[in-house]
Amino acid sequence: MTYKKIAYGELLDFLDFDKGEGLLPVICQDVQSKEVLMLAYANKEAVERSIESGRAHYYSRSRRKIWMKGESSGNVQELREIRIDCDTDTLLYLVEQRGPACHTGARSCFFRTLEEFSADHRRY
């Protein structure tokens, strides 16, 4: 099977922003280790900014604005590749992470197991 490679500028025409009311989930993964670093959301403008700048941009659902990862912490994500899922409604950003990805200071946002989380949040 062969595929036509599309330019990043054409990517936006193929993405299904309607399904998520204008937002796509974006899984962020370290390009070298393949460790999943975080999950965030992006609107069309955030994807455009990511493509143009080479740094990961997302849309904050709580603040209702676009933000660049690391704009205040310095822990930027250098974008190396964008992958699209089979339904064209989710993106995978392969990045070089500078510093921790998680706002807690952890390398990844996925640093707790379900058991650890449950133990931390038991109610007596």
pLDDT tens-digit map of 55-109: 999 999 999 999 999 999 999 999 999 999 999 999 999 999 999 999 999 999 9
How does DSSP classify residue 85? -
Whether pTM exceeds 0.85: yes
Say if CB 17 and CB 25 are below 8 A apart.
Answer: no
Give 30's contacts (C-beta < 8 A, 6+ positions apart).
37, 94, 95, 96, 97
* Per-residue pLDDT reduced to its tens digit, 72-86: 999 999 999 999 999
Domain-by-domain residue ranges, the chain?
Answer: 14-120
Question: Which CATH class, in words, describes the domain spanning 14-120?
Answer: alpha beta
Q: Which helix (H) or strand (E) holds 120?
A: helix 114-120
Q: Which helix (H) or strand (E) holds 92?
A: strand 91-97
pLDDT at 8 over 60: yes
Give 76's contacts (C-beta < 8 A, 6+ positions apart).
55, 56, 68, 69, 70, 98, 99
- Amino acid 3: pLDDT: 59
